[in-house]
Amino acid sequence: MNAPRVSFVSLGCPKALVDSERILTRLRAEGYEIARKHDGADLVVVNTCGFLDSARDESLAAIGEAMAENGKVIVTGCMGATPELIREKHPNVLAITGPQAYESVMAAVHEAAPPAHEPFVDLIPPQGVKLTPRHYAYLKISEGCNNRCSFCIIPALRGDLASRPVGDVLREAERLVAAGVKELLVISQDTSAYGVDLKYAPSLWRDREVRTRFLDLSRELGELGAWVRMHYVYPYPHVDEVIPLMAEHRILPYLDIPFQHASPRVLKNMRRPAHQERTLERIGRWRETCPDLALRSTFIVGFPGETEEDFEMLLDWLDEAKIERAGCFKYEPVGGAKANDLGLEPVPEEVKEARWNRFMARQQKISTGLLKKKVGKRLPVIIDEANGTAAKGRTKYDAPEIDGSVHVRSRRPLRVGDIVTVKIDEADAYDLYGQAV
Ligand code: SF4
């Protein structure tokens, strides 16, 4: 009997990507083949994103395409939390399941295309199926979130924080490194809150007990011999404890902190975690401990009620904080988000646009200045793309997909996943250029 073939579409953020990887791993473990095209596959699974209206449109379009080209479609992911929106457009999809509903996705797959009865367990590589290139991998440490930011519907979609016991996370990380992964990207909705729900319970790792806590996780991951990068951290006081690990080169001197704004009034309306922390002072102290710490963040401009004064406070904050990388979004009123009901004055689209442009110009100037200081230095670079003696990679200060790159020339051919020393000879607003030495 031929193995049934499943075509898979993965949309959305790194967290959704991890869900996709888990589903694909299960499918492969049960003997399903992954098809390259919808046409000719036994069915299609679409892992959707429902975070912004634009993401929903993209998800609906992907479902439409799968319906047209195949006709047997199972929908999962964040949009699965609002099945009526999907049914309205595509009434004939086979099944709709929500985020992390692996069991329900698999049940729907079994019904539509029963697995082949063959011994298949060996099909699965021990590290699972990765959608990211083999040299880096996302490590998801928890699901859901205990915060209730007013612009966000993730807690409604994914529920409260549920941390994975640290022993499980470390075993997964160990397997990934053994399979050749050189860089682990730690993700969650709120990495600094890791373990709160488990009351930091100890769990068994190798021959000892380790607590399910941000600091302990960071320390142990730092022992595995891979680059370890922390995403979605909030500036709580206990994050201070992790900075020395960065100064000692155990984990990367990199923190991805979604600050979102700098005006206390806007942050309060956003109901942001740690909004009362004095972030500039904290950043200053972190840099004293770890001078080459790189900070990356995202911001929202045009949040309801944001005044010109609030916005200028944000620009001043950027000037003071001088963070290495910053992304900026114009506020979008997501359906179901609290922010829509706070009675705050919406910011007109043209004002949002103008603020976005001013933000980007300001940050570009800061980034250009910071990158210029790297010219002349020799920096380790991990290679993401290689084409003979021309390659593209990243320093420790840049995460894949969201930050900048290093364009590398080399005398000998480089391979993806190599970590090489590069002498930087040029910089622009976002990227570096140099020669492998
Ligand atoms: S921290 Fe706020 S923005 Fe992030 S997932 Fe939780 S509620 Fe949403």
Phi (first) and psi of residue 25, to 5 degrees: -60, -45
Average pLDDT for 288-301 = 96
Q: How far is the CA of 354 from the centre of ligand 1 (A)?
A: 26
pTM value? 0.79
* Whether pLDDT at 29 is above 80: no
Q: Would you place residue 120 in the very low, low, confident or very high pLDDT band (cuts 50, 70, 90)?
A: very low
Indicate the SS3 state at residue 226.
coil
Query: How far is Cα 27 from Cα 34, in angstroms, rounded to an integer?
Result: 8
Pocket test for ligand 1, best of 141, 149, 157, 231 (most atoms within 8 A of CB): 149
Query: Is the pLDDT higher at 423 or at 329?
Result: 423
Supply the mean pLDDT for the chain: 90
How many Å is the maximal CA-CA distance in the chain? 68
| Closest atom of ligand 1 relative to the 155 alpha carbon | 7
Beta sheet of 43-48, edge-to-edge order? 33-35, 5-10, 43-48, 73-77, 95-96
Model pLDDT, residue 82: 86
Helix axes 308-321, 279-289, angle to 10 degrees: 10
CB atoms within 10 A of CB 368: 13
* Whether pLDDT at 370 is above 90: yes
Asked whether 149 lines ligand 1 (CB < 6 A), one says yes
Asked whether 159 lines ligand 1 (CB < 6 A), one says no
The residues pairing with 8 across neighbouring beta strands, listed in sequence order, are 45
Give one word for 369, left, alpha or beta, with left for phi > 0 and alpha for psi -120 to 50.
alpha
Indicate the SS3 state at residue 433.
strand
Pocket test for ligand 1, best of 141, 190, 231 (most atoms within 8 A of CB): 190
Query: How far is Cα 138 from Cα 53, in angstroms, rounded to an integer?
Result: 25
Asked whether 172 lines ligand 1 (CB < 6 A), one says no
| Closest atom of ligand 1 relative to the 190 alpha carbon | 1
Q: How far is the CA of 7 from the centre of ligand 1 (A)?
A: 31
Asked whether 115 lines ligand 1 (CB < 6 A), one says no
| Closest atom of ligand 1 relative to the 145 alpha carbon | 6
CB atoms within 10 A of CB 350: 8
pLDDT of 234-262, one tens digit each?
A: 988 899 999 999 999 999 999 999 999 99
| Range with the largest mean pLDDT of 118-132, 156-170, 282-296 | 282-296
* Whether pLDDT at 215 is above 80: yes
Asked whether 147 lines ligand 1 (CB < 6 A), one says yes
**Which residues lie closer than 8 Å to 352 by C-beta, 6 or more apart?**
301, 302, 330, 331
Quick one: 126 exposed, middle or buried, by C-beta within 10 A (0-12, 13-18, 19+)? exposed
